[in-house]
Amino acid sequence: MQLRSSLILSFAAIPLTALADPLPAPSPKAPSPAESVQVQPRGNEFMPNSLAEDALQKRITDFNRKLEGLDADLDKKLKICRGC
């Protein structure tokens, strides 16, 4: 009797979704043409020694220096215990 009641209780604890039929697996999709992207050379657009490229590199360098300064200021403000 006790075995029977424990068996009934164990089935009562199982969610109904576990007893339902499993969903069929989704069918595999064929890869779309967008997944195989190839990068084309930029041709005449890229001129490494041009004034525009030099200006861009200067802006990037200035931005990086500014961030380094801000990072250093933040590191000074933080009170982190290192090997106390």
Q: What is the pLDDT of residues 24-34, one digit of tens each?
A: 776 777 666 66
Using a 10 angstrom Cβ sphere, with 0-12 exposed, 13-18 middle and 19 or more buried, the burial of residue 46 is exposed
What does the block give as tokens for 78? 């933080």
DSSP secondary structure code for residue 21 in this structure: P
Asked whether the beta carbons of 74 and 68 are under 8 A apart, the reply is no
Q: How confident is the model at residue 15 (pLDDT cuts 50, 70, 90)?
A: low
Model pTM score? 0.40
